[in-house]
Amino acid sequence: MRKLLCILALGLISYPQLKAKTASGADEGVTVDMSGTNSVQPETPAARDARMAWWREAKFGLFIHWGVYAVPAGKYGDVDSYGEWIMWNTKMSPAEYQGYAKKFNPVKYNPEQWVKIAKDAGMRYMVITSKHHDGFALFPSQASKWNVVDASAYGKDLLGPLVQAAHSQDLKIGFYYSHSQDWNNRGGAIKSYKEGDGWDESQKGSFDSYLETTAKPQIREILTNYPIDILWWDTPLHMYQPRAEPIAKMLKELRPNILTNLRLGGGYGDYATPEQFVPSTGLKGDWETCMTMNKHWGYNAVDQNWKSSPELIQKLITICAKGGNFLLNVGPTAEGEIPAESVKRLNDVGQWLKVNGESIYGTTAGPFPFLTWGAATRKNQVVYLHVFNWPADGQLRLPLLSKVKSTTLLIDPSKQLQTTQNSSGTIIQLPPQAPDSVATVIKLEVAEEPIVQPIASFNKKLIASSESPKNRVAAAQDGDAGQYWEAAADDKNAYLEYDLGEPTLIHALAVDEPDRWPRYKQELRIEIETDKGWTPLLSAETKGHGHQAQFTLIKVQKIRLYIKRELGPPGIAEWQIYSPE
């Protein structure tokens, strides 16, 4: 999953231009006809809001990547060669890979314990891989013998007990299902190969036949046999609208209240899924960041690149502050155990949520695009300030102009914090020491709709060295990371330039890149205009996840962002510049 990110999650590739990609990202020249009429009945806004209500309230879920790939994990020396993509990375033959299923025997699997781990972490839902790209189903299936009952040493359904355990403990549960990409069932799509092709003869065949004989029947089995709450699609290779529509119709007919992400293809689904990053401006509509605790989704015995518990807590807060949900992943072992490193981190997050959950569950995006010291969530007239970096002078500065009714520490609402306001914003007097070294929450109630100071780049003049006809420069400052600016194809020195109107104090910036596949690997170079000409400020290399930076306070009027892309014309979804609070 990590290697192949969302192609159509935000509808950023226009359907008439969708092409198959090679491993290097180059077009293979396979243009797909995207014609077709969407005949799935539309939903009223009120009905959609009612269906999405529990998910919007939940905010935090557990992702579980589990399957046969957990068996060979640890058998290969290169840390990046295995995990859930081991079969593709090593171009292992289906025959060899299927042999590992004989050793897949998770006798330590305890679904009640897994649910308890999620509950203790403060999670409200979970999503498990019912079938990943290796095509192995964790449920019994009449559509393919490549499943846990017929092909593994375990020989029993793994998903039914987990669904029952989740619902018995008031957790929602969903299935990840790789509907398009399948490396073992003949005709399934394969990253970097033309439709119907593969690296092994046994993989080659008709993709439409695969959909009719394997994918659609298995989706029907899931919808019929398991009372799940979410279907989480992935990598919609070749899934243009006429192919996706029958599946969308099946969902409406069998499970009209189920939630799905936007990775089915054809524009269907309920929410976007940025992967392994947090969009600096958030996204329009419903969205959910999915993220690993280390580098891999599936179990990897030698991958010790763990994110710390404080980092995960702050990720959760930041995602919620921008209006999203957080789906945090674990990769159980072949024996059925969630690694101790994962459990420890989940428990730490849960301990923080036991005290501060009010500031997360049921919140919406905070009113502030950027805060030097942390992030903010909101519930109606209450704004929750999450302070990561406790100010040394005891003064928390906030670019808030609205009248404040009350300000308290969430852990001690009996004590009012002194608050002063002027035309520049709000200052809150804090205790000398932070009650929580990771994230202290301040509960601030406003008397009116929050009015905040605009960011430095808001409505300022932005020019570009060039722009493509469909992706204009205005998209880079419209506050919508779903739209993007792209330079002309022949622009060899592409840049964006802000004129802030007058010398302005700034100390941070954020760059979002288009959420598209292949990822926009780009070199960024930022320069400011001084009395000595254009002077370098900072540089960075990206992997399609953008870049955020804080720097020493400077006064500047013109600032320029140069972009060089590894493949194709450069593109930027959002570029924001921030002044200190």
CA dihedral for 372, 373, 377, 382, sign (positive or negative): negative
178 and 58 in a common domain: yes
pLDDT band of 566, cuts 50, 70, 90 = confident
Cα–Cα distance measured from residue 289 to residue 238, given in angstroms and rounded to the nearest whole number: 24
Cα–Cα distance measured from residue 490 to residue 487, given in angstroms and rounded to the nearest whole number: 8
What's 124's domain CATH number? 3.20.20.80
6 within domain boundaries:
no
> Which uninterrupted H or E stretch holds 489?
none
The 10s digit of each residue's pLDDT in 137-175 is 999 999 999 999 999 999 999 999 999 999 999 999 999
Q: How many domains does the chain have?
A: 3
Mean per-residue pLDDT for 50-57? 98
CA dihedral for 172, 149, 92, 183, sign (positive or negative): negative
Q: CB 321: neighbour CB atoms within 10 A?
A: 28
428 and 547 in a common domain: no
Structure-block tokens of residue 75: 């058998």
User: Is the per-residue pLDDT at 180 higher than 80?
Assistant: yes
Q: Would you call the peptide bond into 518 cis, given omega within 30 degrees of 0 as the criterion?
A: yes
DSSP 516: -
Mean per-residue pLDDT for 274-301? 95
Question: So what's the pLDDT on residue 14?
Answer: 29
Cα–Cα distance measured from residue 197 to residue 363, given in angstroms and rounded to the nearest whole number: 46
Question: So what's the pLDDT on residue 523?
Answer: 98
Question: So what's the pLDDT on residue 518?
Answer: 85
Strand ranges in 321-388 using DSSP code E only, listed in sequence order? 325-330, 364-365, 374-379, 382-387
The answer to whether residues 495 and 562 touch, using CB atoms and an 8 Å cutoff, is: yes
377 and 228 in a common domain: no
Mean per-residue pLDDT for 388-400? 97
350 within domain boundaries:
no
Cα–Cα nearest to 312, from 354, 359, 365, 350:
350
Instruction: Give percent of the chain with pLDDT exceeding 70.
Output: 92
User: Is the per-residue pLDDT at 344 higher than 50?
Assistant: yes
Indicate the range of 41-50, 123-132, 205-214, 344-353 predicted with least confidence.
41-50
Question: So what's the pLDDT on residue 41?
Answer: 75
147 and 63 in a common domain: yes
498 and 386 in a common domain: no
Mean per-residue pLDDT for 351-372? 98
Structure-block tokens of residue 316: 């959760």
Q: CB 422: neighbour CB atoms within 10 A?
A: 8
Mean pLDDT in the chain?
92
Question: So what's the pLDDT on residue 17?
Answer: 30
Cα–Cα nearest to 125, from 259, 298, 263, 306:
259
User: Is the per-residue pLDDT at 490 higher than 80?
Assistant: yes
435 and 467 in a common domain: no
130 within domain boundaries:
yes
Helix axes 159-168 and 111-120, enclosed angle (nearest 10):
40
Cα–Cα distance measured from residue 448 to residue 453, given in angstroms and rounded to the nearest whole number: 15
Which residues neighbour 274 within 8 Å (Cβ) at sequence distance 6 or greater?
A: 6, 9, 283, 287, 288, 289, 290, 324, 515
> Tokens 């009116």 belong to which residue?
448
495 and 438 in a common domain: no
Question: So what's the pLDDT on residue 76?
Answer: 57
User: Is the per-residue pLDDT at 25 higher than 70?
Assistant: no
317 within domain boundaries:
no
Question: Using alpha carbons only, what angle is made at residue 294 by residues 97 and 71, rounded to the nearest 5 degrees?
Answer: 20
Cα–Cα nearest to 404, from 435, 429, 438:
429
SS3 state at 508: strand
SS3 state at 457: coil
Beta bridge partners of 328: 62, 291
pLDDT band of 39, cuts 50, 70, 90 = low
Q: 562 to each of 72, 457, 471, 536, 575, how far by Cα in Å? A: 44, 17, 17, 11, 12
The answer to whether residues 1 and 132 touch, using CB atoms and an 8 Å cutoff, is: yes
Mark which of 446, 472, 501 sits at the end of a domain: 446
User: Is the per-residue pLDDT at 24 higher than 50?
Assistant: no
pTM value is: 0.92
The answer to whether residues 396 and 387 touch, using CB atoms and an 8 Å cutoff, is: yes
DSSP assignments along 461-476, one per residue: EEEES--BTTB-GGGG
Mark which of 446, 477, 503 sits at the end of a domain: 446
What's 376's domain CATH number? 2.60.40.1180
pLDDT band of 30, cuts 50, 70, 90 = very low
223 and 134 in a common domain: yes
Cα–Cα distance measured from residue 581 to residue 564, given in angstroms and rounded to the nearest whole number: 32
User: Is the per-residue pLDDT at 289 higher than 80?
Assistant: yes
160 within domain boundaries:
yes
Which residues neighbour 46 within 8 Å (Cβ) at sequence distance 6 or greater?
A: none
Mean per-residue pLDDT for 525-544? 97
Question: So what's the pLDDT on residue 74?
Answer: 61
Question: So what's the pLDDT on residue 391?
Answer: 97
Question: So what's the pLDDT on residue 516?
Answer: 86
User: Is the per-residue pLDDT at 21 higher than 80?
Assistant: no
86 and 195 in a common domain: yes
Q: Which domain holds residue 465?
A: 461-578
157 within domain boundaries:
yes
The 10s digit of each residue's pLDDT in 224-257 is 999 999 999 999 999 999 999 999 999 999 999 9
SS (H, E, C) 518-564: CCCCEEEEEEEEECCEEEEEEEEECCCCCEEEEEEEEEEEEEEEEEE
Cα–Cα distance measured from residue 65 to residue 330, given in angstroms and rounded to the nearest whole number: 6
455 within domain boundaries:
no
Question: So what's the pLDDT on residue 38?
Answer: 60
Structure-block tokens of residue 45: 């806004």
544 within domain boundaries:
yes
pLDDT band of 82, cuts 50, 70, 90 = confident
Cα–Cα distance measured from residue 295 to residue 305, given in angstroms and rounded to the nearest whole number: 6
502 and 435 in a common domain: no
> Which uninterrupted H or E stretch holds 310?
helix 309-321
Give the count of alpha carbons within 13 A of 258, CB side only: 30
Which residues neighbour 35 within 8 Å (Cβ) at sequence distance 6 or greater?
A: 241, 242
405 and 274 in a common domain: no
Question: So what's the pLDDT on residue 78?
Answer: 55
> Tokens 């939903």 belong to which residue?
43
499 and 403 in a common domain: no
The number of angstroms, rounded, from the C-alpha of 66 to the middle of its chain's C-alpha atoms is: 19
What's 484's domain CATH number? 2.60.120.260
Mean per-residue pLDDT for 71-82? 66
Cα–Cα distance measured from residue 575 to residue 549, given in angstroms and rounded to the nearest whole number: 12
Amino acid at 323: G
SS3 state at 178: coil
Question: So what's the pLDDT on residue 5?
Answer: 36
